[in-house]
């Protein structure tokens, strides 16, 4: 009886049909071609004109570049690993984050993934630095 009630509720919650992109049974070849392009491979995609801003690097952006390059210099990763890790952030973060925020996010993830730092160490360091910077400002 409980089971029947539960199923009744589920039927009310469930959509009548699947959403278009919820693992459809079939898709056109054209959609397959569009979907399997790699996230960063944007060349030729439609877009509208945007203003071409002249914006120099902020301090944290330049430091991000330098830190990521030093990690490469001393063998913690290379630039292909960085680009791959950026793609692996997924579309929301890849396009949603500022350019250098993508870099520093994947630098932290890669150091953790490789076991060079732990998430505890990273968390503690972040707390320590936040306290330091808030005291500064």
Partner 1 sequence: MTSMHDGHDGHNTFPVSSKVSEFEILELAVRELAIEKGIFSAEDHRRFAEWADGVGPHGGSKLVAKAWSDPAFKEKLLTKGTEACKEVGIDWLQPTGTGTPSDYTFFYVLENTPKVHNVIVCTLCSCYPRPVLGMSPDWYRTPAYRRRMVNRPREVLAEFGLHLPDDVEVRVHDSNQKSRFMVMPMRPDGTEGWSEQELAEIVTRDTMIGVALPDPKVRVPVPAGEVHQ
Query: Which residues are at the interface with partner 1 (CB under 8 A)?
Result: 40-67, 69-74, 76, 78-80, 83, 86, 95, 98-101, 104-105, 107-108, 111, 116-117, 121-122, 125-126, 129-130, 133-134, 137
- Structure tokens given for 130: 């936040």
* Closer residue to partner 1 in complex, CB, 61/93: 61
Catalytic residue among 25, 52, 65, 99: 99
In whole angstroms, how close is the CB of 12 to partner 1 at the nearest point? 40
CA atoms within a 13 Å half-sphere pointing along the CA-CB vector of 56:
2
In whole angstroms, how close is the CB of 126 to partner 1 at the nearest point? 5
Is residue 101 within 8 Å of residue 87, measured between CB atoms? no
> 3-class DSSP state for residue 48?
coil
Q: Can you tell me the distance from the alpha carbon of 104 to that of 121, in angstroms, rounded to the nearest whole number? A: 16
Q: Can you tell me the distance from the alpha carbon of 22 to that of 104, in angstroms, rounded to the nearest whole number? A: 32
**Considering Cα of 69, then 75, then 81, then 86, what sign does the dihedral take?**
negative
Catalytic residue status for 99? yes
In whole angstroms, how close is the CB of 120 to partner 1 at the nearest point? 11
* Closer residue to partner 1 in complex, CB, 17/134: 134
Active site residues: 99
């Amino acid at each position: 009886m409980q089971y029947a009630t539960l199923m009744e509720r589920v039927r009310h919650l469930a959509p009548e049909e699947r959403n278009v992109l919820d693992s459809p049974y079939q898709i056109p070849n054209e959609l397959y071609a569009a979907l399997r392009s790699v996230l960063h491979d944007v060349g030729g995609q439609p877009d509208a004109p945007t203003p071409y801003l002249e914006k120099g690097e902020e301090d944290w952006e330049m430091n991000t570049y330098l830190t990521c390059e030093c990690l490469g210099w001393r063998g913690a990763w290379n630039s292909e690993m960085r680009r791959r890790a950026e793609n692996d952030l997924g579309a929301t973060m890849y396009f949603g984050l500022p350019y250098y925020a993508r870099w520093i996010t994947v630098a932290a993830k890669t150091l953790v993934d490789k076991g060079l730092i732990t998430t505890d160490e990273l968390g503690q360091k972040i707390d320590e630095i936040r306290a330091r910077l808030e005291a500064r400002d």
